[in-house]
Structure 1
Amino acid sequence: MSGSVWRFAGFDYSPQSGLRKDGAQIHLGPQARQLLELLLESKGAVVSKAEIAARLWPDRPPSDDSIDRCAYLLRKPLREAGHGDLIATAYGRGLSLRAAIELLDPGGGDSGRADKGLDGRTLDLWQTVYELASRRTRDGYERAQSAIAAVAELHSSSPAIWSLSADIAAGRAIRGHLKPAEAAAIIERDAGRALALAPGFTAAVAVLGWARATLAGRPEDGLALLDRAIAQDPGYGKARVYRGWALARLDRLPEAIDDTEAGLRASPHDQGLLMQRAWLEFCTGNIDRSMELAHRGLFLRPDGGWLRGVVAVASSLSGDHVTAEKSARHGLELVPEDPSLRAVLSAALARAGRAAEAADALEAAGGDGRSAVPGLFAAAALLAMGQGDEALRTLARARDEGCPWFAFAVHDPRLYPLRDDIRRLA
């Protein structure tokens, strides 16, 4: 776009002079400018999320929240300049500019719209990965991992693709859809490939730090990597989510809360950060505050299945069994097949005195054997059913297998009767 001047809806834009209207300068941040350039180059066509990701975040795979926030930072100054919403959202596809676009001075610029490092087929496959992973089902995550493998074959020199594969493996392990040892192997391999291509690549450093802190049971080593990732990119929300797990494993919850708050200041709609903030408050024992934060998060992200999980565990512990069951079931509608949420439902039913239903719900949580209930949630359900010894044995297995949720076991208020035993396990 160098040397070009674009006109749309009464605005003029060039890379040299920025955005102007009637001669007045309109400030845009660097990512908003990059997004505007991409939309102008498309000449009104829809620009896919994958294409936006490749241009704006070439060093790491962004979340949909990051793309939405960037779109907001472009919409806002355009609206304030006296126009309606010029940025159109094509649901499930991407963004476009609602305006006639005129190229006034094409002199010398390259107006091709795609990142030259990724061809069209690769971008299509990357978009498929986003769509599959966004469903957050077991099969969706498995297919996303397969799609990433196909992308990597076509574009094996992209550290972002290898890092995204590692992140998907982390997500599968967190939800119980992948054994911790298998997830650890994938993350070490693919984050390692990313770092071999781009030493210090932030997203790869972050997911590798999480894996070592949780799956490998090496929280100090993992925290050192996560500190490095955040120093490189303080606005990378996922690094702060991952760092919260490492800090919880090291019994440093106040720092984890501060870290999550810092992440939310940069990305207030990030679902992972919203969920973790409410969960960490629950782990401090402040049940009412946890519920308040979860409801606040749901106002921003009504699609947050695990935010409803936090409402369920907090309500159950407070004795509001009707809300607990309703929230757990609603969460399962949003995140089908989630073993942790099924275990949350089991614990809620047990606390409500419905032991037989609780046992059935916990048995169903394992499904067909392709998923496993993370030990933290299975233990909470067992303890609610009066099976304290079995709950403790479940936690010991979780520790030995590298279950990532073991990081929170000593803090979880549902497991307070076992706290001394859990400390000895940890």
Structure 2
Amino acid sequence: MSGSVWRFAGFEYSPQSGLWRDGAQLHLGPQARQLLELLLESRGGVVSKAEIAARLWPDRPPSDDSIDRCAYLLRKPLREAGYGDLIATAYGRGLSLRATIDFLDPDGVGAPATDRRVDGRTLDLWQTAYELAGKRTRDGYERAHSAIAAAGELDPSSPAVWSLSADIAAGRAIRGHLCPAEAAAMIERDAGRALALAPGFTAALAVLGWAQAALMGRTEDGLALMDRAVGEDPTYSKVRAYRGWVLARLDRLQEAIDDTEAGLRLSPHDQGLLIQRAWLELCMGNIAESVELAHKGLFLRPDGGWLRGVAAIAASLSGDHAAAEEAARQGLELVPEDPALFAVLAAVLARAGRNGEAADMLSAARGDGGGCAAPSLFTAAALLAMDQPEAALGEISRGRDAGCPWFAFAPHDPRLAPLRDEIRRLAATEASSPLGG
């Protein structure tokens, strides 16, 4: 081995020769090596997730579980070499290396400094945005957007910051916390800023493509952007979720499933992909498989409120009303005041013959008029279960005209099967979106 060498817990590492122990080299992938270097440079200190994201993914925000997966890929060879878990998780803060670290430099230059790439205040705000958006509540999303907007003001030259802002807007629209028109405008603005700074920026291409297809009615344009994003970076799992959404809109459900599976191979713990996989199976009419996938997802992500929502829908369709109600209420415990989950519970209660309670839940789903209301697909399912087919169809029609992203799934949702012919006619005569021009 030549050049600078780090020693810790019986291991030796150098950027030139890699990781060694007892004369044998241990293989590390490129991102695991970068993470190890960052942890060594910190000399045992805690490295925040935002710092890790900026170092390992300088050109885009990582997906939810990318950092956890990278930490696993570093932990595994260290553990297999005979040591326990040397990578410590400081919950809510980041990662550190449990070892005494020595740095040997034949040239006397000293230990290298961490390349921050983004200043500390921006990193703090970026990390705050990740944590708040991860809660998936209305307040969490709003605060996340405020945090990332502040990060953008501090570092307007970072495409990753602007792209994350666009992703947060998409998440707010999906969960009914932001009207489609407002979300579309935010995504166009912020993804556009990212692409002006870096024209091939994968994350911005992906979210802008989704917005064009799902919110603006420009399906082919949006799909072309997402195809370009896949070409730019096939390892970016989030584009698979966005692309699967649009493929469902084009009645290409099996392709949507294939895309979601590809995303899960890259990020097996990604909550959005786990939800989408179970949901797509339900849309294919495979109720038992949907329940199984939702439960498998919950094993990996017990914090998955919307995984419980999918499980509730599937159980209700199977006639297991008690299990359906329990799953929906558990989902609301994890994601309080989620309007779509209120609508799911309303439909579950109505299918169980409890229309009075269902009406109360539907009122909660429709919100307070402050822009937070269940997407029309879920409201329509509850109305149909309450034997109000005309009102249900009216909800679907309004959702289509407003650019509701969930309209993509209306022809496939088994809860809306009695209205399928009418919904397909609505889809075939879909008006030009007021958002897309």
TM-score, normalization by structure 1? 0.98
Take 1:174 and 1:16, find their aligned partners in 2: how far apart are those partners? 46
In the TM superposition, what whole-angstrom CA distance separates every residue of 1:20-74 from its partner, at most 9, and x where no partner exists?
A: 1112110000100000000000000000000000001111111331110000000
In structure 2, what is the equivalent of residue 212 of structure 1? 212
Take 1:350 and 1:145, find their aligned partners in 2: how far apart are those partners? 36
In structure 2, what is the equivalent of residue 45 of structure 1? 45
In the TM superposition, what whole-angstrom CA distance separates every residue of 1:130-186 from its partner, at most 9, and x where no partner exists?
A: 121111110110011011110001100000000000000000000000000000000
Structure 1 residues 265 and 111, CA gap change in structure 2 (3 angstroms): same
In structure 1, what is the equivalent of residue 234 of structure 2? 234
Secondary structure of the structure 1 residue equivalent to 2:203: helix
Take 1:229 and 1:277, find their aligned partners in 2: how far apart are those partners? 21
Secondary structure of the structure 1 residue equivalent to 2:200: coil
What's the offset of the Cα at 1:112? 1.4
Structure 1 residues 362 and 98, CA gap change in structure 2 (3 angstroms): same
In structure 2, what is the equivalent of residue 95 of structure 1? 95
In structure 1, what is the equivalent of residue 5 of structure 2? 5
Counterpart amino acid of residue 253 in structure 2:
L
Query: Does the 8 Å CA contact 1:163/1:191 hold for their aligned counterparts?
Result: yes
Secondary structure of the structure 2 residue equivalent to 1:25: strand
What's the offset of the Cα at 1:109? 6.5
Take 2:41 and 2:17, find their aligned partners in 1: how far apart are those partners? 17
Take 2:182 and 2:110, find their aligned partners in 1: how far apart are those partners? 47
In the TM superposition, what whole-angstrom CA distance separates every residue of 1:176-200 from its partner, at most 9, and x where no partner exists?
A: 0000000000000000000000011
Secondary structure of the structure 1 residue equivalent to 2:13: strand
What's the offset of the Cα at 1:374? 0.0
Take 2:244 and 2:35, find their aligned partners in 1: how far apart are those partners? 31
Counterpart amino acid of residue 97 in structure 2:
L
Query: Does the 8 Å CA contact 2:41/2:111 hold for their aligned counterparts?
Result: no
Whether 1:421 aligns to 2:422 is: yes
In structure 2, what is the equivalent of residue 265 of structure 1? 265
Superposed counterparts of 1:27-426, under 5 Å = 27-105=27-105, 107=107, 108=109, 111-115=112-116, 117-370=117-370, 371-426=372-427
Query: Does the 8 Å CA contact 1:51/1:114 hold for their aligned counterparts?
Result: no
Query: Does the 8 Å CA contact 1:281/1:287 hold for their aligned counterparts?
Result: yes
Take 2:237 and 2:313, find their aligned partners in 1: how far apart are those partners? 25
In the TM superposition, what whole-angstrom CA distance separates every residue of 1:198-229 from its partner, at most 9, and x where no partner exists?
A: 01100000000100110001221111111111
Structure 1 residues 55 and 424, CA gap change in structure 2 (3 angstroms): same
Query: Does the 8 Å CA contact 2:365/2:379 hold for their aligned counterparts?
Result: no
In the TM superposition, what whole-angstrom CA distance separates every residue of 1:241-291 from its partner, at most 9, and x where no partner exists?
A: 000111000010000001111111121111111111100000000000111
User: Which stretch shows the higher mean deviation, 241-250 or 62-71?
Assistant: 62-71
Query: Does the 8 Å CA contact 1:8/1:102 hold for their aligned counterparts?
Result: yes
Take 2:185 and 2:400, find their aligned partners in 1: how far apart are those partners? 17
Take 1:358 and 1:181, find their aligned partners in 2: how far apart are those partners? 29
Identity, in percent, stands at 79
What's the offset of the Cα at 1:366? 2.6
Take 2:327 and 2:106, find their aligned partners in 1: how far apart are those partners? 56
In structure 1, what is the equivalent of residue 430 of structure 2? none
Take 2:389 and 2:158, find their aligned partners in 1: how far apart are those partners? 49
Secondary structure of the structure 2 residue equivalent to 1:103: strand
Number of residue pairs the alignment of both structures matches: 424
> Where do 5+ consecutive residues of structure 2 fail to align?
428-437
Structure 1 residues 188 and 22, CA gap change in structure 2 (3 angstroms): same
In the TM superposition, what whole-angstrom CA distance separates every residue of 1:320-344 from its partner, at most 9, and x where no partner exists?
A: 0001000000001111121111100
Q: RMSD between aligned alpha carbons?
A: 1.2
What's the offset of the Cα at 1:110? 6.3
Secondary structure of the structure 2 residue equivalent to 1:64: coil
Counterpart amino acid of residue 375 in structure 1:
S
Take 2:368 and 2:112, find their aligned partners in 1: how far apart are those partners? 52
Moved over 4 A (4+): none
